[in-house]
Amino acid sequence: MLGYPERTKGIWQTVKRLLQEGILGQIRQMNLALCEYRRWFWEAETMPAEATALLREYSSMPDEFFAGWQDWHRTPDQMGGGMFADTGTHWVDLMLWLASAPPAEVVAFSESAGLPVEAFMSVQARLTSGVLLSLTSADAVPQGLLSGTWYLMIVGEGGVLTSNLKGEVWLHQAGKEQRVEAAIPDTNAATAFVAAVREGGPNLAPAREGAYAVAFIEAAYRSAAEGQIIQIDYGAREK
């Protein structure tokens, strides 16, 4: 089980169930705009104490987990990229999970804006289901160390779902708006893992699905570097 905490939130599990039940009909398109400030990884000599405290509170991980945390985050060969590879992987996974399909082809453009990694990324993709996916990632606009803003839209033949920084999810159908409330309680990665191992509970984030997020991100970076559409061959990957 991988550490994708968005999957453990009751609201997203509820949305996943609703989409599987066909609340939007056939899903056609997904759009995500994401802006977070992570440039301090590259601009600060030491990791700000405020950031460390917030990360400990959010992750509940021991102090040993954060040893050398900034060092490898600011080393491109170890990190694999900038914010898009860091926090972006969680959003990519969420979108692929909600769409119930891996990426088939990806094209992307990037801009470093003076950083040793990308600061801005614009990605277009087609999933194996035919769903079109659009994602923009921006490491910009200094704000809270671990804060940011985002907006998600899922478009189907029978309606639209939207969500934003407040965590609210809205269903738009037939000219009306209705807020979607969580029908499933929140859990966390540790609790879900223990339940899966000891009680036969569901694996909320299987490794294979994590590999789909990695394939998406790798294809995006490769497309931005080579200036071409990247086709993802799962037959070659899974041999």
Tell me whether residue 51 is in a domain: no
H-helix or E-strand spanning residue 13: helix 10-20
Give the confidence band of 81 by pLDDT, cuts at 50, 70, 90: confident
Report how far residue 31's alpha carbon sits from residue 47's, in angstroms, rounded to the nearest whole number. Answer: 32
Structural domain boundaries, residue 227: 5-38+83-237
Tell me whether residue 60 is in a domain: no
Q: How far is CA 40 from CA 6, 34, 62, 72, 88, in A?
A: 24, 17, 22, 13, 16
The answer on pLDDT for 52 being more than 80 is no
E strand residue ranges, the chain: 27-36, 103-111, 120-127, 132-139, 148-156, 159-164, 169-173, 176-180, 230-231
Q: pLDDT tens digits, residue range 110-133?
A: 999 888 889 999 999 999 999 999
Report how far residue 135's alpha carbon sits from residue 163's, in angstroms, rounded to the nearest whole number. Answer: 14
What's the pLDDT score for residue 236? 58
Tell me whether residue 170 is in a domain: yes
Within 87-181, where are the H helices? 88-99
Tell me whether residue 16 is in a domain: yes
222 vs 193 pLDDT, higher one: 222
Nearest to 60 by CA among 222, 218, 191: 191
Report how far residue 121's alpha carbon sits from residue 112's, in angstroms, rounded to the nearest whole number. Answer: 9
Looking at the structure of the chain, the number of domains it has is: 1
Report how far residue 224's alpha carbon sits from residue 229's, in angstroms, rounded to the nearest whole number. Answer: 9
What are the two backbone dihedrals, phi and then psi, of residue 148, each rounded to the nearest 5 degrees?
175, -165
Tell me whether residue 162 is in a domain: yes
Report how far residue 212's alpha carbon sits from residue 217's, in angstroms, rounded to the nearest whole number. Answer: 9
Where residue 225 sits, what CATH number does that domain have?
3.30.360.10
Tell me whether residue 179 is in a domain: yes
Give the confidence band of 239 by pLDDT, cuts at 50, 70, 90: very low
3-state SS of the chain: helix, strand, coil percent to 5? Answer: 40, 25, 35
The answer on pLDDT for 205 being more than 60 is yes
Tell me whether residue 64 is in a domain: no
The reported pTM is: 0.88
CB of 129 closer than 8 Å to CB of 97: no
Where do we find the tokens 């600011």?
74
H-helix or E-strand spanning residue 56: helix 49-59
Neighbours of 212 (CB within 10 A): 22
Tell me whether residue 90 is in a domain: yes
